[in-house]
Chains A and B, each alone.
Chain A
Amino acid sequence: MLILTLSQVTRTFGETRALANVSLEVAAGERVALLGHNGAGKSTLMKIVLGLIPADDGAIEVVGAAPGSRTARAATAYLPENVAFHPALTGLEQIGFYLRLRGESPAKARNLLDRVGLGEAGQRRIGTYSKGMRQRVGLAQALIGRPKLMVLDEPTSGLDPVSRREFYAILDELAADGTAILLSSHALTEVEARTDRIAILSRGHLVANDTLANLRRGAALPIQLQVAARPDSAEEVARRLHGRRVNGVRVDLDCTPDEKLTRLSDIAELRSLIEDVQVVPPSLEDIYEHFSRRVPQ
């Protein structure tokens, strides 16, 4: 079941086109990562989905309703980038407030804060919290009332690696319950490949929208083979494999995914001259770079 549908969405700010004919769908239980540089249009897309700003053109449906309508807002949770709260309120009071806005009992605040690992700090004022703690309060309010759609703007930016892992564990639970999740990030490594699909925005254009495996295949970036030669044989290894000598013992070769096995058997024939070989697939950053450079004119 589709929870979020954007078709041909366009939005212009003055001279700049923030979004150009963007079409994107997120189904129930699906986790979609929205990637892009700063200013690529991620936040604009999210604000349009939330109904905070209107689109100039195109159609958007959130649980079958218009974005920003009461039906859409009741079904949607949002975690803004650098989420902020009133510093004079405690974590419990702030979450209690959001619970009441969704028509739920403020007594549930304690459970929500426990779930994001903030149980003890709930009595303290948010003004005394660290950035990571505020981000957890933000996540706690997004968990209220089993949302059908979660929109998370750079949710892991202030979190340490352990917290990030805990954060994704919570998202996994939600997705398993059928929540559609759209989260943004400016680095592919940040989303830790824990999403079902990756959509890349580049200067307002959607330049990729697929699983990580398919993106990897589609990019067809060269694989690097790093050969460690025995002492004094690097020169010969480089010559016979047509590789690049990096230092006294290492020789690097590039090959396409299809050539990989052939090249490896070439290397295996030189067994007496080499000590080791490493296969380095293109990094997530390389793949992201590859797609984000593609901008349709």
Chain B
Amino acid sequence: MNRIAAVANTEIRIALRNRWVAIAVVMMALFSMVLSAAGSAPTGQLGVDKLSVVVASLTSLAVYLVPLMALLMAFDSIAGEVERGTLPLVLTYPVSRGEILAGKFLAHLGTLALAVAIGYGIAGAAALWSDPTAGRGIPSLFRLFWTSLLLGATFLAIAYAISALARRPGAAAGLAVGVWLVFIVLYDLGLLAAIVADGGGTFTTTVFPWLMLANPADAFRLYNLAASDAAGAASGLAGAANTIPPAQALASLWLWPAATFLAAVAAFRKVTP
């Protein structure tokens, strides 16, 4: 445990020095402020409190931003150590590769948590300030916070696995962008195209819900929108998939970080310094 804390402590210092903490916080804060300002129009028309509407907008924002920040923060973790030549030395210390990865994970997840908390906090405060009934939305804002961390944890672990497999930072960066595109953008486009082509057939009713659960970003969106009053404010695939029970989406959200972290440790064990 001490060794994990030692790695986490060092990684947090590095994240602070490299301005990663500052960049992540500013990015989340800025996007939240823009959303709060832009999202003030639809209130009233939907008959829900303002914070619930803000949560719905933040959900679509987080689906893009949280995985991106996680991948950017972590793609260098192992490949960077290989390139700098710092890995062989640390591996001769009495610390396991799992412990090293757990330490990095804690530091990166902490950075992400800080950024997300500040971003959502700003959006939440703005909503509460302009709409006194917005207090009803606080539980969904809190739910959005911890599910964002699960989503971020998944993509941090994916980034470690990529970093271990790629061995070079340049290749790891390319793979990270590819993963982001596939999971966050192309996957949904593909599903949409398939639904349109299927025209409400067996694919849409049987295969499609499982495919939604198989993508952590879709599971995140599903769970937050299904559990929120403001599902009506959502559009696109999530609206089409409201037949999926939220419990299944939640299970997917918990399974993903666990499975990807184990995969990352396995990939790291294969790295020969």
Contacts and interface: CB of A to CB of B under 8 A. Distances in A.
12 contacts: A47-B88, A52-B273, A78-B89, A80-B85, A80-B89, A86-B14, A88-B13, A89-B17, A100-B2, A100-B9, A101-B6, A141-B89
B88 A52 contact: yes
B177 interface: no
Contacts of A85: 84, 86
B6 A100 contact: yes
Contact of A98 (B2, B93, B273): B93
Interface string B82-97: 0011101111111100
A52 B272 contact: yes
B3 A84 contact: no
B10 A73 contact: no
A292 B94 CA distance: 36
Interface in A105-140: 125, 138
A248 B175 CA distance: 73
B18 interface: yes
B94 A74 contact: yes
A55 interface: no
A74 B84 CA distance: 24
**From DSSP, what is the main secondary structure of chain A's interface residues?**
mixed
A180 to B, nearest CB: 15
Contact of A100 (B3, B17, B91): B3
A89 B18 CA distance: 10
A112 B13 CA distance: 21
Given A86-B84, A102-B94, A97 B89 contact: no
A76 B92 CA distance: 8
B74 to A, nearest CB: 15
Contact of B94 (A52, A70, A84): A70
Contact of A80 (B7, B88, B94): B88
Given A52-B272, A53-B272, A101-B3, A89 B10 contact: yes
Interface of B is mostly: helix
Contacts, number: 71
Interface string B4-16: 0111011001100
Interface residues of A, number: 29
Given A80-B88, A88-B13, A97-B6, A73 B94 contact: yes
B6 A84 contact: no
B89 A88 contact: no
A50 interface: yes
Contacts of A88: 13-14, 17-18
A101 B89 contact: no
A73 B94 CA distance: 5
Nearest to A106: B6
Contacts of B9: 97, 100
B89 A102 contact: no
A85 B88 CA distance: 11
A72 to B, nearest CB: 9
Given A84-B84, A84-B85, A101-B3, A89 B93 contact: no
Contacts of B14: 86, 88-89
A70 B96 CA distance: 9
B113 to A, nearest CB: 22
Contact of B93 (A84, A101, A138): A101
Given A50-B88, A100-B6, A102-B94, 6 more contacts: A70-B94, A78-B92, A80-B85, A85-B84, A88-B18, A138-B89
A163 interface: no
Contacts of A73: 92-94
A157 interface: no
A211 B119 CA distance: 68
